[in-house]
Amino acid sequence: MSERRRFAIVMNPSSAGGKPLRLLPAVRGALTAGGAGIDIVQTQDIPHAAEAALAAAGRGETVVALGGDGLVGALAGALRGSAPLGVLPGGRGNDFARALGIPQDIRGACGVLLDGEERALDLGEANGRAFACIASVGYDSDANRMANEARFIRGNLVYAWAAIRALASWKPTRFEVALDGSPLEFEGYTVAVANSPYYGGGMKVAPAADPADGLLDVVFVKRSSKLRFIANLPKVFSGTHVELDVIETHRAREVVVRADRPFDVYADGDPITTLPATIRLVAGALRVIAPRA
């Protein structure tokens, strides 16, 4: 595969504290040693990254996201249905790579680019904005904002820190949710609409989610005391939280979410739209280079 392939490595050099830039020498070394050609495309924002990805795909290059899940989601949306996407984990969370079994170490991930196989996966879309992993709203909106604003906590520990900090000022929210047209209401913390299992650097919030099954997994986190919420938080990393009576799970192809106060909808670590939100599954819209089965 590598002998016929030229990779366009799309990266924002300043994201995740400059992590993609620090990883670049290892990426360059591993891919060129494997016989592949590479071009480096440094971007400053998501629109430029999407434009660069389309231009590279038009030249016959394989686009590779070297960054976090937000970059992966943006490039997946730009390339949907037209060209394969490679993924190198260069962000803080790297949950899309985790879901596909792409190694978290950069040399192992480069090995997948060189020797992996293309898989057709589903793509999520919230008010028309593409995402790869999970779109969530409510308490998660506050926690994501705090994680993104943090400057002195590195790595995925920032998500656990932000989850605890957001709890201090949290007030229960009433959500109105329509699942394929069927209305539901509940009071609580969060609505998470998942195309894959993970968010927040390894939190397995939707353990049954499969990005190739044609359905979105929907998780409601219902009202409980803050003390119980924080006591149960570690269960999210194993996915056993779904056994709790305050967690409700559903599956749907379209999810409409409203709440009794304004929220940003976060997906792949970034704010992508606001409520009310219509979240849809676009089946088979993403081609990705994944480890061989």
Q: What is the mean pLDDT of residues 108-123?
A: 97
Q: Reply yes or no on whether the pLDDT at 112 is more than 80.
A: yes
pTM reported for the whole predicted model: 0.93
| Closest C-alpha among 256, 293, 252, 291 to residue 276 | 256
Beta-bridge partners for 252:
216
Model confidence over 148-184: pLDDT tens digits?
Answer: 887 766 656 787 788 889 999 999 999 999 999 999 9
Q: What is the mean pLDDT of residues 213-222?
A: 98
Percentage of residues in the chain with pLDDT exceeding 90? 85
Q: Reply yes or no on whether the pLDDT at 1 is more than 50.
A: no
Q: Report the catalytic residues.
A: 270
Confidence label for 48 from pLDDT (cuts 50, 70 and 90): very high
Backbone angles phi, psi at 108, to 5 degrees: -65, -40
Q: What is the mean pLDDT of residues 129-146?
A: 95
* Cβ 209 vs Cβ 195: under 8 Å: yes
Q: Reply yes or no on whether the pLDDT at 242 is more than 50.
A: yes
Per-residue pLDDT, 2: 43
Per-residue pLDDT, 154: 61
3-state secondary structure of 12: coil
The CB density around residue 292, as the number of other CB atoms within 10 Å, is 9
Per-residue pLDDT, 78: 95
Two tokens, residue 27: 């990426």
Percentage of residues in the chain with pLDDT exceeding 70? 97
**Mean pLDDT score of the chain:** 93
